[in-house]
């Protein structure tokens, strides 16, 4: 799923994370650091949603329309699992 848009977002997040590391190295006020960590998490949620969107519109359609019921079940179960994890992180 090489997706230039996803890559671009992830590299921005990487830069954001490097900035947080610098903040901690420079003894920045704790709450400001936590706020930036939370901003990174919000950005990661958006990346996940974007990847999932691509996945639903490609692999999920292929598997659900395919002939193999086990593969269909596997793919739908994975979607359910990422949903379940998303309620816990």
**Residues interacting with a copy of itself, by CB under 8 A?**
1-3, 6-7, 10-11, 13-14, 17-18, 20-21, 24-31, 33-35, 37-38, 40-42, 44-45, 47-49, 51-57, 59-61, 64-65, 72, 76, 78-80, 82-89
Label residue 78 exposed, middle or buried (CB < 10 Å: 0-12, 13-18, 19+).
middle
Q: Distance (Å, rounded) from C-alpha 2 to C-alpha 23?
A: 32
Quote the least distance from Cβ 19 to a copy of itself, whole Å: 11
Closest separation between CB of residue 70 and a copy of itself, Å?
13
Tell me how far, at minimum, the Cβ of 15 lies from a copy of itself, in Å.
Answer: 10
b/e per residue 33-59 (b: at least 16 CB within 10 A): eeebeeebeebbeebeeebeeebeeee
Structural tokens at position 75: 């793919």
- The residue (of 31 and 70) whose beta carbon lies closer to a copy of itself is 31
């Amino acid at each position: 799923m090489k997706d230039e848009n996803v890559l671009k977002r992830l590299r921005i997040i990487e830069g954001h994370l490097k900035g947080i590391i610098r903040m901690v190295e420079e003894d920045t006020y704790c709450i400001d650091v936590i706020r930036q960590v939370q901003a990174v998490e919000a950005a990661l949620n958006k990346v996940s949603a974007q990847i999932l969107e691509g996945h639903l519109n490609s692999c999920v359609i292929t598997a659900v329309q395919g002939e193999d019921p086990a593969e269909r079940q596997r793919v739908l179960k994975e979607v359910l699992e990422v949903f379940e994890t998303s309620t816990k992180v």
